[in-house]
């Protein structure tokens, strides 16, 4: 969606009687802090990440912040004209790449770190304390040759990447992994015709069901799959979306997705969809009105809230808003923090999350916005 340089930021709209009251966490993409705001759009807590920048962060029940990070100042590699990037250089060229998953306590102290330059995009902390992560891998050459679709660059091709899903224990030791190249079909799951052939899958989201099965979302070939948590076999595969993000399992067992709607016929437009996995059918969706009013070509996500409202992060523009089941917007906040990314100013946010006041992550914490009065005034979040 296009945005005026003079648009209002911070809280732009609120219907208190219809929105789900709580606190919203968001992390400006590539910034060095995560913010928790109240329903008035005021900062009530800030995690200063110090010498690191974050791609995405989420609160744990302990109140600790788990974040995908990079060292501050880390730059994309400079590749000489005509040169073929190495696998390591290729990692830094992907969106969503991180070099570490770090856990920060409420005061911003680092209490746990897992370092791996190939992790990216998402993570799931499991009930047993283990963690699931997407991991970029170099695709076996014989498989890469079979992958259909994508734009072939002139000259020698760089190694094609795919993804593994890695489970690690609290010590950072590998427990198990799933190879997507063994679960997807190089011919039936082709790369989008308008994307380059550097990546086959580009896994951008994970979700775990009550039974321990694992949903995954792949952007480059617009595939969503379900892995049997016990056997590692592919139980189900969906091709209902275009460059989608953020699979999440709803209380009724259905699957929710942010369908970015990128590279579709006609004008690009995004939507939130609820899928019944038993019938592979869409049972609910939210679109903009008009449809092109709501669009993010990449990143983005959606959280189902109590009472069936949905908190949506229109990631590329940093717009976070809440809608009812009927599609009525009842709360809206625009990220006021600008971060320089690849030489351009950006207000993008990968995802946002709403926490109710009694959530264990925040219950009993000091959430007085007066503690951040100077910051709130600086960014126009209070008068």
**Chain centroid offset of residue 358 CA:** 25
Write out the DSSP string of 354-375: EE-TT-TTTTT----GGGGHHH
Q: Is 118 left (phi over 0), alpha (psi -120 to 50) or beta?
A: alpha
CA distance 238 to 236: 7
Question: How far is the C-alpha of 330 from the C-alpha of 320, rounded, in Å?
Answer: 11
Query: Which residues partner with 331 through β-bridges?
Result: 14, 322
* 46-79 residue pLDDT tens: 999 999 999 999 999 999 999 999 999 877 777 7
Radius of gyration of the chain (CA): 20
| pLDDT at residue number 350 | 98
* Helix/strand/coil for 383: coil
73-110 as b/e, with b when 16 or more CB fall inside 10 Å?
eeeeeeeeeeeebeeeebbeebbbbbbbbbbbebeeeb
**Count of residues making up the chain:** 383
- CA 156 from chain centre, in angstroms, equals 32
Give every residue of the chain whose pLDDT is below 50, as ranges: none
SS3 102: strand
Q: What b/e readout covers 133-160, taking b as 16+ CB neighbours within 10 angstroms? A: bbbbbbbeeebbeebebbeeeeeeebbb
Contacts of 245 (CB under 8 A, 6+ apart): 204, 205, 217, 219, 257, 258, 260, 298, 299, 300, 301, 315
Determine the 3-state secondary structure of 89 from DSSP. helix
224, 244 in Cβ contact below 8 A?
Answer: yes
- Write the burial class of residue 191 (CB in 10 Å: 0-12 exposed, 13-18 middle, 19+ buried): buried
- For 380, half-sphere exposure in the C-beta direction (CA atoms, 13 angstrom radius) is 11
Cα angle 206-248-356, degrees, rounded to a multiple of 5: 115
User: What is the pLDDT at residue 365?
Assistant: 98
User: Using CA of residue 377, residue 375, residue 355, residue 259, what is the dihedral sign?
Assistant: positive
In the block, residue with structure tokens 């899958």 = 201
The pLDDT value recorded for residue 155 is 75
pTM of the model: 0.97
């Amino acid at each position: 969606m296009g945005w005026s340089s003079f648009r209002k930021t911070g809280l732009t709209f609120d219907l208190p009687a219809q929105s789900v009251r709580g606190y919203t966490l968001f992390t400006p993409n590539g910034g060095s802090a995560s913010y928790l705001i109240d329903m008035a759009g005021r900062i009530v807590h800030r995690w200063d990440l110090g010498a690191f920048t974050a791609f995405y962060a989420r609160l744990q029940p302990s109140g600790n912040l788990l974040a995908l990070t990079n060292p501050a100042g880390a730059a994309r590699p400079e590749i000489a004209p005509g040169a073929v990037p190495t696998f390591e250089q290729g990692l830094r060229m992907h969106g969503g790449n991180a070099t570490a998953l770090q856990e920060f306590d409420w005061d911003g102290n680092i209490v746990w770190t897992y370092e791996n330059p190939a992790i990216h995009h998402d993570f799931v902390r499991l009930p047993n304390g283990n963690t699931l992560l997407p991991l970029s891998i170099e695709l076996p050459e014989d498989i890469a040759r079979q992958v259909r679709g994508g734009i072939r660059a002139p000259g020698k091709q760089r190694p094609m990447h795919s993804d593994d899903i890695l489970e690690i224990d609290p010590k950072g030791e590998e427990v198990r992994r799933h190879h997507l190249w063994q679960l997807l079909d190089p011919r039936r799951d082709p790369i989008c015709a308008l994307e380059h052939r550097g990546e086959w899958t580009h896994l951008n989201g994970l979700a775990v069901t009550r039974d321990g099965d694992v949903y995954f979302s792949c952007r480059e070939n617009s595939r969503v799959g379900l892995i049997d948590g016990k056997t590692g076999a592919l139980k189900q595969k969906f091709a209902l979306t275009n460059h989608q993000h953020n699979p999440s399992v709803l209380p009724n067992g259905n699957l929710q997705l942010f369908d970015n709607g990128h590279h579709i016929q006609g004008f690009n437009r995004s939507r939130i969809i609820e899928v019944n996995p038993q019938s592979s059918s869409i049972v609910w969706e939210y679109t903009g009105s008009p449809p092109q009013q709501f669009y993010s070509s990449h990143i983005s996500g959606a959280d189902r809230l109590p009472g069936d409202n949905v908190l949506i992060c229109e990631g590329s523009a940093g717009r976070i808003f809440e809608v009812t089941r009927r599609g009525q917007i009842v709360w809206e906040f625009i990220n006021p923090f600008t971060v320089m990314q690849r030489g351009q100013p950006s207000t993008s946010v990968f995802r946002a999350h709403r926490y109710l006041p009694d959530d264990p992550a925040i219950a009993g914490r000091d959430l007085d916005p007066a503690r951040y009065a100077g910051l709130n005034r600086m960014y126009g979040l209070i008068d």
